[in-house]
């Protein structure tokens, strides 16, 4: 029997959600949820454009570009959605991209990157980095940040590391919500939260098997940023953690390591929450957190030398 957790009433509806994780179901889910990409449309406050970004001689990644209407663009944001590297973007993630564009006054590039298990690491970070390069060219001198939730947090962190390694302009900030930071060993949250809703340590084992099918492929730090040899050059960082989340302690370890290197970190440890709490966009708790994120982005854009 699952352990009972003291989940805040705002998130009780999430308590029964346990994503089906087998190869047959994930293929069907990817096809169905993938259709959501084509349903995103402009409205009176935000323009939505569909673009294709070249990733190789004969390969492309699709992406959505959200641009606020009737206001000056203050910066740009690459949003890497979460989903265990296997699930396409969910409705609330598309809504968040729109909210960030509208409220932070920034363009938001939302890549529809390749998914595991059909496309294991390093496909996803390569697609996201190609999208980041495109955004730099498109945005020219405007400050550019990266953000991601859950597995998207790993991808956002990887983009920062890849920018440093490739000696191109590094994001001015990274915004990470309940991020997966990579291999931190058996933390307390990994040990305790084996049956939590939305995501738990048993789920993470499956996601890991799907995502990393060849241990020699790619650079370790790009799939496990917490294991990077150096954090030099990592920008100011915003992190939120969920209380009942196997990924919680890894994010705290990553935050501590950044602070030890003198990197500014805003850390918010949310209470009564489970992984993926952003699904409840009408929650007063989530609304308040979104305002904190928007304030962080605005601050990052203003601090950046143009």
Cα torsion at 32, 36, 39, 43 (round to 10°)? 160
Cα 5–chain centre separation:
25
Catalytic residue among 119, 189, 201, 275: 275
Catalytic residue among 150, 201, 224, 283: 150
User: Cα separation of 66 and 40, whole Å?
Assistant: 10
Cα 160–chain centre separation:
13
Residue 187 neighbours by CB under 8 Å, 6+ apart: 249, 250, 253
Residue ranges in 21-142 assigned as alpha helix (H): 23-34, 91-104, 123-139
Nearest to 156 by CA among 183, 137, 129, 182: 129
Catalytic residue among 127, 203, 245, 249: 245
Backbone angles phi, psi at 62, to 5 degrees: -75, 155
Residue 244 is given by DSSP the state B
**180 is annotated as an active-site residue:** no
Cα 202–chain centre separation:
20
**245 is annotated as an active-site residue:** yes
**165 is annotated as an active-site residue:** no
* 3-class DSSP state of 155: helix
> What amino acid positions are annotated as catalytic residues?
150, 245, 275
């Amino acid at each position: 029997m699952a352990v009972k957790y003291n989940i805040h009433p705002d998130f009780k509806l999430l308590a029964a959600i346990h994503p089906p994780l087998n190869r047959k179901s994930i293929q069907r889910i990817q096809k169905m949820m993938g259709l959501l990409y084509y349903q995103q449309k402009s409205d009176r406050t935000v323009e939505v454009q569909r673009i294709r970004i070249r990733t190789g001689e004969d390969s492309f990644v699709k992406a959505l570009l959200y641009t606020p209407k009737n206001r000056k663009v203050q910066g740009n944001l690459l949003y890497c959605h979460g989903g265990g590297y296997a699930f396409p973007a969910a409705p609330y993630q598309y809504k968040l991209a729109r909210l960030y564009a509208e409220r932070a006054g920034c363009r938001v590039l939302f890549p529809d990157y390749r998914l595991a298990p059909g496309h294991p690491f390093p496909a996803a970070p390569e697609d996201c980095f190609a999208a980041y390069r495109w955004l730099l060219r498109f945005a020219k001198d405007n400050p550019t940040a990266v953000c991601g939730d859950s597995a998207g947090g790993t991808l956002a962190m990887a983009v920062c590391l890849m920018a440093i390694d490739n000696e191109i302009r590094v994001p001015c900030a990274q915004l990470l919500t309940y991020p997966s930071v990579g291999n931190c060993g058996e933390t307390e949250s990994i040990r305790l939260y084996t049956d939590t809703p939305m995501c738990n340590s048993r789920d993470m084992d499956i996601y890991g098997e799907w995502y990393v099918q060849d241990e020699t492929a790619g650079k370790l730090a790009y799939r496990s940023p917490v294991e990077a040899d150096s954090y030099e050059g990592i920008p100011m960082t915003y992190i939120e953690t969920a209380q009942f989340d196997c990924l919680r302690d890894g994010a705290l370890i990553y935050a501590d390591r950044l602070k030890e290197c003198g990197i500014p970190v805003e850390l918010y440890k949310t209470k009564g929450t489970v992984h993926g709490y952003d699904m409840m966009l009408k929650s007063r708790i989530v609304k308040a957190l979104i305002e904190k994120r928007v304030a962080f982005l605005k601050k990052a854009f203003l601090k950046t030398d143009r």
